[in-house]
Structure 1
Amino acid sequence: MFSDVSPDEMSKVMGRSALLFADLDVGQHRNVFVPETIEHVVVVAPHTRGDGRHRAVSELTYRTLFDGGNRLERGAAARIADAVSKRSPDYALLSLDRSASTGPHDAAMIETADIHDQQREHALTRPFPSWMSFLDPAQQALVARNYNGPARIAGPAGTGKTVVALHRMAYRARRTTGKLLFTTFVRNLPRCQQQAFAQLAPEIGDRAEFKSLHSWAGELLGMRGQPDRMDMTAADNAFNRAWSRVGRRGPLPEIESDNRYWREEVDRLIKGRGLTAFEEYARLDRRGRNGTLRRSAREAVWALYEEYEGLRKEAGFLDANDLISAALREVRAEPLGERYDMVVVDEVQDMTVMGLRLAHAIVEDAPNALLLVGDGQQQVYAGGWRLSDAGIPIVGRGAILEVNYRNQDAILELAASLEGKGVVDDLDGEAAITLSRSKTALRGGGVAETWHGDNDEVERQVRLQLDRIKERGIPLSATALITRTNHEADRFRSALRRWKVPFRNLEDYDCTEEEKLKIGTVYRAKGLDFRAILHPFFSKSQPEEEVSDARRDRERLSVNQRFVAITRARDYVWLGVVED
C-alpha cells in the first residue's frame, strides 16, 4: 500500500494528517477524528529500515497492525477514503483499491475515530477497548487541555471518564519522554486498561505502567531494600485479637457490635488519613460517616488502633495502609530513579487520603502531570474525603462529563431510582449535576428487571435469566454476575458448575473476549462494562428503632454497591432482591 512512498514524502503527508482529519466531511455529516487513534506507519520492503520518525513494518507483516479488528464498518471506511482522496492529491496514496481487496484488513488501513451516530453506536456495541475509536467534542477538548497543575475529571457512571483519561495519557506520552503510570485501588482493573491503551498507543511500550497503587508501592520498596511484606490475613487476625483485648469491653459495642465497622474506622479514617496523634483524630471531621463520636468513644477507637499496631509491629508485617505510607516516605526522602511525566488515578473515590498523597508525590504539581478520575456515587469503601484533605489543589482544573455512553435508558432509570442517587459530586465536596441530567447516547431503551423473592428461589431465577439473556442474543462473553461478597460469589459459582455454565472470575479477567460468564464481587467489577448484568442482592431488614448511625453507613455503601453493579450493564440488568 505504501511501499513506493519515500520517508520524506510520507512525512509530508502525515504531517498534515491531524489537520485534514479534524475537518473532514463525509456525506452530510461532520466527523471529528481523534488524533490519538491515528498512528503514522510506513510500510517498507522486507529488511528495510524506516526513517526513525514513523513506525516501520514490512509489506509482508503490515496486516498484524489490525489484529485487534476493525473499528469502523467497511462501508464507512470506504467513504472516508474517498473523501480524503478528493480533498488532497497527496492522499491518493491512501485510497483503497477495491478490485484488489482481499478482506476486511484492507478497509482498515485508514481506520480512525468517527462520531457520526451510526459509528458511535457501532463502537459501543463492542467490548471496552473498541471505545478507544471515538470521542465526542466535549471529551476531545479535555484530551489536549493544558492544566498548570493537578486536574480531575468527574461525572456519572458510563460517561467515558476513563476513555478520556487514556486518550489524554496517549496525548501526553507523545509529547514527553518520561514514564507514565495508570493506577487505581482496584487490583484487576489495570490489566483491562493496559489492553485498551495498547490499541490506542502501541508505540509507547514499556514507558506506560498499568498497576494498582499497592503493587507500585511494593515494587518501589523492594527496589529500595525496604520491608514490603503486606499480609492481609495476618492483619485480620491481629485486628480480631485487638478487638478481643480492648474493643469489646468498652463503649464501642454499644454503638456498633460488628467489629468490621471499627476496622473500617481504623483503616480508612485513622491509618488511611495518616493520623499519628489522638488529638488529630479527636478533631477529625468523620466525612462519609453518619453521626458523631463523642470523645470517650474516640478514645476507645484510638486504644483499639494502638493495640492493633502493637500486635502488627510485633509480628513484623505491613497492612495495606502501611505499604502506601512506607512508599510515600521513600518518595519524599529520595527522588525516583526515573522521572514520571504523568500519573492517572482511576476510580479515585475509593483511594485513601494517603493513597492520594502518594500519587501526588510522584509528580507533585507539575503541569498536566496528575489526573484524578472518578465518581463519588460509585464509592464502595467506607469513609470519605475532599481532595483538599490530601493537599491536592485542583481549583479551576476540573471537568464534569454528562453524556452516558454505557447504559440504555431503562438501566439509567433503575440506577437513578436508588435512594440517594440524585446528585453527582465533583470529588471535592460540591454538588456537580443531578443524575437525571445525564443523557444516554444509546438507543433502544434496554431492559431493567427487578425481582423480589426468598433465598430458596434465587438460584432458579438466575438460571431463568441466563436463558432469557441468551434468547436476546447476548453471549456469555458479554454477561456478568455480580455479588456483594465473596461468600455469595462462591455460592453462585457452585450453581454455575452444576448447570455446566463456563465462567471466568472477575479477579482474573483482563478484558480478553471469551465465551464465558464473568462472576465476582462488585469490588472487582469497578470500571468494567458488560451488555448484561445479573445482580442478586441479599437484603436484611432492620426494625426502625434498631437502625444506628453505623447501620446507616453500611446501608449507604450497600446502595452504592447496587448502583455500581447496575451501571455495569449496557442493555440488560436483573436486580434480584432476596428478602429475609
Structure 2
Amino acid sequence: MATLGIHKDFLMEFAKLEKPVQKRVHEVFDKFREHRHAGLHLEKLEKARDPRIRTIRINQFMRGVVLAPESGDSFLLLKVMPHDDAIAWALKHRATVNSATQGIELRDDVALERATAGVRGLPSPAGEPLFAHVSDKDLTRLGIDADLLPLVRHLSEEAHLDALHKILPEQQYDVLAGLAARMEPEDIWREIVLVQMEQASFNASPQATARADNEQSASAVGQDDLSAAMARSQGRIALVSGPDELMEILSRPFDTWRVFLHPSQRKVAYRPSYNGPARVVGGPGTGKTVVALHRALHLARQLPSEAPDGSILLTTFTRDLAGDLRRSLELLIPDERLRAKIRVTNVDALANQIVRESRSGTPLAILTSQKEITARWERIARKLGIDFTDVFLDQEWRHVVLAQDLRSPETYLKTSRNGRGTPLGPLKRAQVWRAVEAFVGELRKADEWTFLQVCAEAARLLEERGDERPYRHVVIDEAQDLHPAQWRMLRALVPSGPDDLFIAGDTHQRIYGNRVSLRNLGIAVTGRSTRLRINYRTTQEILAWSTELLTGRHVDDMDGGDESLIGYRSAFHGAAPHTSGAETKSDELFGLVAQVKEWNSAGVSPREIGVAVRYIQLGKEVARSLEEAGVPTTVLGGASGSGDGVRIGTMHRMKGLEFRCMAVVGVNDGIVPMNSAVTTEDIDPQQHREDVLGELSLLFVACTRAREALRVSWHGQRSPFLGKSASSENR
C-alpha cells in the first residue's frame, strides 16, 4: 500500500467543497490502497517546474494536485482546486527539501524568480534593512536558500515580507517572520528549526509513525525520499496509515486538523517526562488546548497496565469547555479503553463531587446568583453599621480571604492585601472580618455554599487524605481563569512528583479577574514553561488588529513576571477586519444581516459563523433579525434555534470556540466595557484597573475566535477600546 501524506492546504480546501464533490474526492484517493497504477491517472504536465507534481481528475470541473516521484510508493496530496486553477498552480510550483529541517516545502518558482530579478540592480533600501541584524551565515543555517538572499536583504519593512508570504516556502517564511519580530536567531533555531529536526514522524497514527521512523533511519533524505521528508514536515503534513484513516480525516477535515500538532507544539506535548509541574502559554490560536489533549494522551500511554480508569484528570474552567475537551478527546483517541484512562470534567463539578461524597451524597445548595450574594453583603454591612459597599466586601472576601485561605481574624490582620487598591488599617480590617464571619455564618446556617467555598472545602478534604490522592496526573486547560481556591484543590488532587501537573493558559485571555501566583501556591514551573508564538487559527490581519487592543497593557504571567505578545504571529494571511458604526441598533442589525448573507453567498455555512454580544438580550435580538431574514440561528445556551444555524452567544460563551467568520456586535460605550462589571475608582482604583483589563480581554477573546473574517460593529458611541483598532472604520 502506498504511503500517503495530506498537506494542510488540501485538507482546508477539501473542507470547503460541496458534499458531492467531497464524496468524489474520497473515491478517487481511496484507490491509493492499491498500487498507484491501478485505477489512477496521474497526469504529467508539459513545461512543469517540477515533473513530480501531477494532477488527477476529480470530476468535470475539479482536479487534485499530487506530488508523485518517479520511483517509490509515497504520495503527497497537495491541492484540490477548479480545473484551470489546479493546472496553473501545478505548473508554477516545485517541491524541495529545506536545507535546515530536511522537511518538504513548496515554492512558487515563477513568482520567486520575478521577485528576485526585480530587486537585482536596485539601490539598497533607504532605511535600515529589515534583517540587518542577522548575518548571511545565520540565515543560511536557519534554512534560507542562498538564491533568496538578495531578495531577503532588500526588504526594509515587515509589510514587504508579508507581501511575499504566499510565494515564499512556508518554513523559510516562518523563519523570516520570527526574525522580523525580533526573535534571536538561536530562539528561531530552537523553536522553528530544531523541533522539526528532532521529531521524525507525525502523530497521525501509531502505525504511520512507526513506519516513517523506520524509513527515515534507513536512508538519508533525498529529493525523492518522500516518506522521511513528509515525516519531518509535521504541522503541515499528516501521514495516513490506510483507507480507514483517510476516510476518518476526510469526513471531518476541520475537526481533524484541530487535533494535529505543529512542530513547536509536539515537542511540548510528547516530551518523555517533566520533573514537576509544567506549563505551556501562548496567545489565542497557538494550540495550547491541542497540546493539553496530546499531553493527556501521552500520559495515558505511559500508565502501567494495572492503572484504573480515570487515572488522569483533564479539566478546565467551565462545563461547556469541558464538553469541548471531551469531544476533541474522542476524535484524538478512538480507542475507548485508552480514552477511559482520562477523566474529563470541569473544576467546580469535581469539587462539588468531592464535598458531596464527604456528606454521604447529600446535594449541595449552591448560590449561583451574584445579585443575591451582593444583596447579602449589603444587608450585613447595614446591620453591622460599617462603611463598606457590598461590592468591596464581596471582592475582599474572594480576592483576599478565600484566595489566601484565611481562617481567623489574626491571620487576616497580618496578611498582605497585594492587588487591592484601598488600604485598610487594623480597625477597618476588624470590621471587614466581622462582616465575613456574619456572611459565612448565614451560609452555614442555611446550609448554602458558593462555588469557591466548595473548592476550598474540597482542597481541605483532599489534604486530610495524606498521601492518598485520586489522580496520577492532572492536565489543566484555560488555567488563567482559575481562582487560588481552585488551584489549591487541583494541587491536592495529585501527589507532587514528575508529570504531576500540566498547565495550559494565556493571561491575555483572563476574563474572570482571578489573579494568582503559581509560585505562592506551591506550583513551581520555573525551567518547565514553554511559550507558543505561532497562531494557526487567525489570519495575521485579524491577529494584528486584535492584539492592538492590548497594546500598552500590563499583563502578569501567573508566576511573578510579565506576559508579552512579542513575536506572536499568524501562519497565514487574509482580509483586514471590517469595523462599522451605525446611528441606531436597528441600523446595526440591518448591516449585520447583510454581512451574514454575503458570507453565506461566498460559501460559508451558517454554523461556521459566530456572533458575539456582551449581554444575552442583544443576542436574542440578533437571532430574531437573522431568522426574519431567513437565516437559521442557534443561541448558545438557549433551548431554541436550528442546530445548523449561525452561532450566537455572549462573549463569555464564545471562549474556546472558533468560526470561519466572526461578528462582534454592540461594541458600544457603556456596554464594552460593561458599566456594571467595572468597580468604580472611588471604591478600589486597583480593582477598577483589573476590571477594565478583564473587559478588554473579553473583547480580545471574542475577536480572536475568527479564522478568516472579522466584523466589529456598534451603534451610537463606539467603545473607548476601539480608539486605535477602529481605524479601518466603515460607516
TM-score under structure 2 length normalisation: 0.59
User: Displacement of 1:350 after TM fit?
Assistant: 0.6
Q: Distance in 2 between matches of 1:500 and 1:298?
A: 59
Q: Indicate which of 495, 505, 512 corresponds to 1:381.
A: 512
CA 578–357 in structure 1, closer or farther in 2 if over 3 Å, else same: farther
Deviations 1:55-103 (A, max 9, x none): xxxxxxxxxxxxxxxxxxxxxxxxx99945999xxxxxxxx9xxxxxxx
Trace 1:38-117 onto structure 2 (pairs within 5 A): 38-40=205-207, 83-84=226-227, 107=243, 109=245
Q: Indicate which of 449, 453, 457 corresponds to 1:322.
A: 453
| Equivalent position SS for 2:516 | coil
CA 455–368 in structure 1, closer or farther in 2 if over 3 Å, else same: same
| Equivalent position SS for 1:37 | coil
Trace 1:110-509 onto structure 2 (pairs within 5 A): 127-133=254-260, 135-145=261-271, 146-177=273-304, 178=307, 179-203=311-335, 204-224=338-358, 225=360, 227-233=362-368, 236-246=371-381, 250-253=386-389, 259-260=390-391, 262-282=393-413, 284-286=415-417, 290=421, 292=423, 298-334=429-465, 339-420=470-551, 425-433=556-564, 435-451=565-581, 453-507=583-637
User: Displacement of 1:465 after TM fit?
Assistant: 2.8
**1:191 is aligned with what amino acid?**
G
Q: Distance in 1 between matches of 2:582 and 2:434?
A: 43
Deviations 1:361-410 (A, max 9, x none): 11132201211111111111124121112221112111111111111122
CA 236–276 in structure 1, closer or farther in 2 if over 3 Å, else same: farther
**1:317 is aligned with what amino acid?**
E
CA 235–411 in structure 1, closer or farther in 2 if over 3 Å, else same: closer
| Equivalent position SS for 1:538 | coil
**2:347 is aligned with what amino acid?**
L
Give the root-mean-square deviation of aligned CA atoms: 3.8
8 Å CA contact 2:623, 2:635 repeated in 1? no
| Equivalent position SS for 1:312 | helix
Structure with larger RCO (C-alpha < 8 A, sep 6+): 1
User: Displacement of 1:154 after TM fit?
Assistant: 0.9
Q: Distance in 2 between matches of 1:499 and 1:279?
A: 63
8 Å CA contact 1:403, 1:438 repeated in 2? yes
8 Å CA contact 2:540, 2:571 repeated in 1? no
Match of 2:219 in 1: none
Pairs aligned (count): 484
**1:38 is aligned with what amino acid?**
S
CA 37–280 in structure 1, closer or farther in 2 if over 3 Å, else same: farther
Match of 2:144 in 1: none
Structure exhibiting the larger radius of gyration computed from Cα positions: 2
CA 338–238 in structure 1, closer or farther in 2 if over 3 Å, else same: closer
Q: Distance in 2 between matches of 1:180 and 1:520?
A: 32
Deviations 1:144-200 (A, max 9, x none): 222111111111111111111111111111011441111111220111111111222
User: Displacement of 1:106 after TM fit?
Assistant: 6.0
Match of 2:59 in 1: none
Work out the percentage of aligned pairs sharing the same amino acid. 24
Q: Indicate which of 506, 523, 541 corresponds to 2:652.
A: 523
**1:173 is aligned with what amino acid?**
A
User: Displacement of 1:269 after TM fit?
Assistant: 3.4
Q: Distance in 2 between matches of 1:239 and 1:288?
A: 21
8 Å CA contact 1:165, 1:373 repeated in 2? yes
Q: Distance in 1 between matches of 2:690 and 2:547?
A: 20
**1:251 is aligned with what amino acid?**
D
| Equivalent position SS for 1:574 | strand
- Unaligned stretches of 5+ residues in structure 1: 3-23, 42-79, 88-95, 97-103, 114-121, 254-258
Deviations 1:88-138 (A, max 9, x none): xxxxxxxx9xxxxxxx9964546999xxxxxxxx99x954553212x2222
Q: Distance in 2 between matches of 1:367 and 1:269?
A: 31
8 Å CA contact 1:286, 1:383 repeated in 2? no
Is 1:37–2:173 an aligned residue pair? no
User: Displacement of 1:484 after TM fit?
Assistant: 2.5
Q: Distance in 2 between matches of 1:418 and 1:195?
A: 32
CA 286–337 in structure 1, closer or farther in 2 if over 3 Å, else same: closer
| Equivalent position SS for 1:340 | coil
Q: Distance in 2 between matches of 1:419 and 1:299?
A: 39
Of 320-329 and 470-479, more deviation after overlay is shown by: 470-479
User: Displacement of 1:272 after TM fit?
Assistant: 3.8
8 Å CA contact 1:410, 1:448 repeated in 2? no
Match of 1:560 in 2: 697
Of 159-168 and 231-240, more deviation after overlay is shown by: 231-240
**2:644 is aligned with what amino acid?**
E
- Unaligned stretches of 5+ residues in structure 2: 3-73, 77-94, 98-102, 105-198, 209-222, 231-238, 718-731
Deviations 1:196-226 (A, max 9, x none): 1122222223221111111112223333426
Q: Indicate which of 652, 657, 663 corresponds to 1:534.
A: 663
**1:478 is aligned with what amino acid?**
E
